[in-house]
Every structure is written in C-alpha cells, then in structure tokens.
A = this chain, B = another copy of it.
Amino acid sequence: MKDKKIGFVGLGRMGANMARHLRDCGYTISGVFDIDEELKEGLASELGATVCASLAAVTACSDIVFTVVTNDAAMDTIFFGDDNLFTDANDTLFINCATLSPDIHRKLETEAAKVGAESLEACMASSIPQARNGGLYLMIGGSQSTFNAIKPMLEDMSKDLSFVGDAGKAAEVKALVNMVMNINTAALAEGLGLGEAIGLDLEMLCKVFSQTGANSRVLETDAEDMLSRDHECYFSAEHAAKDSGIALDIAAKHGLEMPLAATTLAQYQRMIDLGLGEYDKSGVAELTFPGRKGTSQA
C-alpha cells in the first residue's frame, strides 16, 4: 500500500492536512495541484511532491488521486474540463472527499469506469485537526471491493471508517445527518428564545436541557453562540438549507413527507432572505429570540 503514489487536488486546509498526515504515515505524495499557485508550490516543497502544471499531470504521476474541492461545479471542472483528471486515467483510483450531491458521485463512478479508472466517495464529518492527525470520521460509498483494497490507507487517515453502500450513499447519509442536525438546531433556538421571553436564566436552562430529554450535540456546540449572538460561520445557514433541501428531495422521490425538515428548511431560507445566509447555523436564533433581527418585534 505504501508504495502507491498519491496525488492531491484541492490544497485548502483539509486537503493539505490530509496530505501531510499521509506523508507522516510513510506514503509518497507524488504530485499536487491547486488553482492557487502559492498553495501548490508551498505544499509541494514541504512534502517533496511534484508541482503539477495541469490536472492531467496529477493523474500521470499518481496511482491514487484525492480530490478535496468545494462543490459540484468544481468537481465538474476538474473531471470534465479541457484539462482534466480522467486523461489517461487507466487504473487510477480517485477518492472524492468534497460534500457533493449524491448524483455527482454516481456520475463520477460511471465516467471513471469508461476510462478504466475507479472512484470512491469519501464523505468527511470532521474538521482540520482531524485531517492533520488521522482522526477523520470517514463514510465511504462506491464499490465494496475497491474499498476493501484501499482500506488500510483509509484506516490510517481515520478514527472511524464506515462503508455505507453504493456511490452516492455517503452523500445521502451526510444529508440525513445534517437534516437532523439542522432540525435540532432550530429546535434549540426556539427553546432558548422562549426561555428568554419568559425571563429564565438561560445558563440554568442550558444546564437543565443538558440533563434531560432536550439534550443534543447542538446544545454543546451552538447554545452559547445563540446566547451571545456569535454567529461566526462554521457551517452556514446557506449550507444548512442546501443539505436539508437535498434530504427533502430524496424524501419526495420516495413519497415521504418530512414536515419538520420542511419547516426547518423554511427557517434557514428565511435567514437567507433576511441577508443572514452567511451566518453560522446557530444564527437561526435570530429568528426566535424576542427582539432580534428576524422576529416580528424587531
């Protein structure tokens, strides 16, 4: 496994730190590419990798290519643009780590097969430090045998690794996770907003929530920001709306009604309409605390 040459496309903090960690584990980072020349040259120099002048050059020097780009449009560019990763890609394995719509993962698998390559989706529910220290939470979708072949390397990168099913399934799971997280966040904003309205000590209320059936992960991560109105963005309202929307589309395809998810999407959409789309998801509290921006009293 460690004789494989590994390329990286998308050298933001996630991608760069995944590459650093693999290098630390003894893997060879063969070539790197980013539209930001400075990022590309810095990381290549740090890791002793080739500065690739094109996407095709990454494929040419790698057995495995990790792509860590931001959205479906960027994926379209790197795989289907004039210069693209599928060029002479026979026997290359692409591991695609961006949070994308389920459909693009299915399309990538089909198109990879046409050029004799393989593709896996690797959905990450973790952040920068976990990328750096090999503690990622990884959900993999695609071919089970491809997953099995690469599993030791994925284990080196993660503290928790799950194979969840066919291509696109990991993105569906992530949309589901975020759908539930978004509802719980909007619920917490209602509970705390109402607590403020009736004059409760909100620190006390958070403690009561934490010790009862109202406890949740978002209580730990978002309650304080809701109280202090610190909505610096970790996961934006726009992103929340996007993921809830993906989940609702999947539900509609299966004829299921999801009234909580729909109401939550409407809340995040209202944030966007109010110009708060770049706020962190905790900003949904602006719609539920008395006298804040999105209430009728504001």
Contact = CB atoms under 8 A, between A and B. Distances in A.
Interface of A: 125, 137, 139, 160, 162, 164-165, 169, 172-173, 176-181, 183-184, 186-188, 190-191, 193-195, 197-201, 204-205, 207-209, 211-218, 221, 247, 250-251, 254-264, 266-267, 288, 290, 295-297
Given A177-B214, A194-B251, A204 B164 contact: yes
A260 B264 CA distance: 7
Given A258-B288, A296-B257, A137 B211 contact: yes
A146 B251 CA distance: 54
B194 A164 contact: no
Contact of A254 (B198, B208, B221): B198
A188 B180 contact: yes
A181 B267 contact: no
Given A198-B172, A251-B197, A254-B198, A214 B184 contact: yes
A256 B160 contact: no
B180 A183 contact: no
Given A137-B211, A180-B188, A184-B216, 15 more contacts: A125-B208, A125-B211, A125-B212, A162-B204, A162-B207, A164-B201, A177-B208, A177-B214, A181-B212, A183-B186, A184-B187, A187-B187, A187-B260, A190-B258, A197-B256
8 contacts: A162-B204, A169-B200, A172-B198, A172-B200, A177-B213, A194-B251, A260-B263, A263-B263
A250 B211 CA distance: 23
